[in-house]
Chain A
Amino acid sequence: MQTHREIFRSIKDIPREEFLAGGTGLCGGCGGLLGLRLFSKALGPNTVFVNAAGCMTLLAVFPFSPFRGSWLYTAMACAPAGAQGVRDALDVLIEKGRLPPSDDVSVVVVTGDGAAHGIGLQSTLAAVHRGLDFFYFCYDNEAFGNTGFQMSPSSPLGSRTATTPPGSTAPAGTTTRKQDLFELWRAQSPPFVATVSPAYPLDLMDKVARAKRRAGPKLFLSFATCPPGWGVEPADAVTVAKLAVETGVWPLKEAVDGAVTHTVVPHRFRPVEDYLVVQTRYRHLFEPVRQEELLRQLQEVVDRYWASAHNNNG
């Protein structure tokens, strides 16, 4: 099942222009980069990106930048505050007549999940609370990727990270559950909150087109395969992202003015195991001994989510 798409109905509708130039120092097969590329294709060239420290720092390394518009770099915790400054400056210039309204640009925050779910959450929720008119693009690779794949509040139960290696005291690896950023945002009733996946370009881009028409805080939570961190081949980056959706692990949805709709629902859900088994960060669940109880729990989390999603007709 998929909801009706308004602008991007087929791959032929994807703009030919690239708004993110090549030549960046990110890993081959980076799902974070693919998501951002599709996002900026739908958003167009008139943007200011405000970037919290993370892997996407490597987009612009002086004297090179892949952006057609501006890029402002901030510390990990304060990109939304930077975005507020940029938005205010644009508003003042337009009000004083020094910038024609037609030259206005979209303000976009780009962060990883470590900044979004942890160290930058306070400044983010404050910006949402103030109703700042901005896009917030979080590429979620489920760990602090740039500094060596340490656990973040977004790291899922049962996954290996550099700081949660599975061992005799914690055979699961990460023992906490993934924090739900979608719901944290939605609790504050911003106009647009969405999860996206670069493996579903049309779903992603159509959401951008819908969000563009609305003022206020807009979240794009983009699932991002991280080949070195997840232990998959770069060539399989999109296949693994697709598996996350087909198994129900990564639900594609949006909340427009608070009402949740699932935008892509698999006809038949594949077992969660199909997604886990292809990544070395979950290898300890299968060998040297299968951790049956944990595998059952991981399936159950997904089943319970979808049971309640269907009950709510969402």
Chain B
Amino acid sequence: MLWHIRFHGRGGEGVKLACRIVTRAGFIAGMTVQDSPLYGAERRGAPVVAFARIADEPILERGYIECPDAVVVMDASLLRHADAGVLSGIDAQTVVLVNSPGQPQEVARSFGIVGHVVTLDVSSLALDVLGKHVLSAPVAGFVARVCRLVPRETLATAVRTELVAAGIPPAAVARNLALAERAFAAAPSVGLPVRRENRCASSTAAESPFVVPHLPPRVAAPTIGAPATSALRTLEGWRVYRPVIERNRCTRCLICFALCPEGAIALDGQNYPVVDYAHCKGCLVCATECPPGAIDQVREDAA
């Protein structure tokens, strides 16, 4: 059997490492494995995808997983963006693991997910134990359990191996181990569908050679004619916390306005700061630097 698992999350959440821990666990358990992440030029907060193939036979496929047996949604905000392709290639048998405090049926209904949805509030577990939104170890625990890939002890060995290799200090490794085990214990055991053939055979079949056309320079080096078009892109999905300004505590010192890297804080008619949530990335520089502590950090709704 060859299982295809696709991980979706945002830069900085530990997508690549979660995938690696899961495949490492499979490897320790004696299976054949393959893992590869894919990210574009963008940074923390931008969509990241990673692929795991785990099999009890040699793996001859390579590349993008078009039709996964399991999809791991580490950041539910991605479900709102069709271009992130989180649900592409799934069917009724696909197991969809969503990091969300919601009930599986609710999440399935609100995002129109056809697969077998399983939810776990991994973010809260991580924030509880680590105080940080770093999800690699608990997501690996979630996946290992739901997909019935490896026993708990094998998962623990894989977490330790990968975190030590990543240079994480012993105390933090211990916290991540405990966290992975909590996620493992909290998740249901569902198992992956047993399929006889790859539903997306095209991804393995040799395709006819694609000829790259020669383009004139005006097409190859395009021009943006209008100013400040980046404002059309909204980035609210990048946030784990949103800054909320408490007007009655604000002294109008304007420090948050000066120090917001994104220029996402404007001033109203009375010189009170106002956050532009469409462009705030949730870095919380404003909250750290506000002298009277007038900016609260509020968790963005998970789903």
Contact = CB atoms under 8 A, between A and B. Distances in A.
Contact of A25 (B42, B232, B261, B284): B42
A118 interface: no
Contact of B228 (A26, A34, A68, A199): A68
A237 B232 contact: no
B261 A18 contact: no
A66 interface: yes
Interface string B221-259: 010100111111111001000000000000001110111
B224 A237 contact: no
A69 B238 CA distance: 27
Contact of A201 (B253, B259, B276, B287): B259
A131 interface: no
A65 interface: yes
A11 to B, nearest CB: 5
B44 A234 contact: yes
B233 A64 contact: yes
Contacts of B282: 28
A14 B267 CA distance: 12
A63 B231 contact: no
B263 interface: yes
B262 interface: yes
A71 B227 CA distance: 10
B224 A62 contact: yes
B46 A23 contact: no
B192 interface: no
A37 B263 contact: yes
Interface string B14-38: 0000000000000000000000000
B288 A57 contact: no
B227 A28 contact: no
B301 interface: no
B224 A60 contact: yes
A12 B253 CA distance: 8
A217 B262 CA distance: 28
Contacts of A63: 222, 224, 229
Contacts of B283: 28-29, 234-235, 237
A28 B45 contact: yes
B258 A29 contact: no
Nearest to B261: A34
Contacts of B222: 62-63
B59 interface: no
Contacts of B169: 283, 287
Interface residues of B, number: 48
A14 B224 contact: no
B43 interface: yes
B53 interface: no
Interface string B151-185: 00000000000000001010000000000000000
A24 interface: yes
B285 A22 contact: no
B145 interface: no
A265 interface: no
A61 interface: yes
Contacts of B227: 65, 67-69
Interface in A8-44: 11-12, 14, 16, 18, 20-31, 33-34, 37-38
A122 interface: no
B281 interface: yes
Contacts of B285: 29, 34, 234-235, 237-238
Contacts of A112: none
Interface string B268-292: 0000000010111111110111000
A95 B260 CA distance: 41
B43 A228 contact: yes
Contacts of A12: 254
Contacts of B263: 18, 20-22, 37
A14 B230 contact: no
B288 A24 contact: no
Contacts of B150: none
Nearest to B170: A288
Contacts of B125: none
A20 B263 CA distance: 8
Interface pairs A-B: 5 shortest CB-CB: A22-B279, A28-B283, A25-B42, A23-B230, A28-B281
25 contacts: A11-B253, A12-B254, A16-B266, A21-B229, A21-B263, A22-B263, A22-B278, A23-B235, A25-B43, A34-B260, A34-B285, A58-B42, A60-B230, A62-B224, A63-B224, A64-B229, A65-B228, A71-B224, A146-B41, A227-B44, A233-B132, A235-B283, A236-B288, A237-B261, A238-B289
Given A28-B282, A29-B281, 13 more contacts: A16-B266, A21-B230, A22-B235, A22-B263, A22-B278, A26-B43, A27-B11, A33-B261, A63-B229, A234-B284, A238-B259, A238-B289, A239-B288
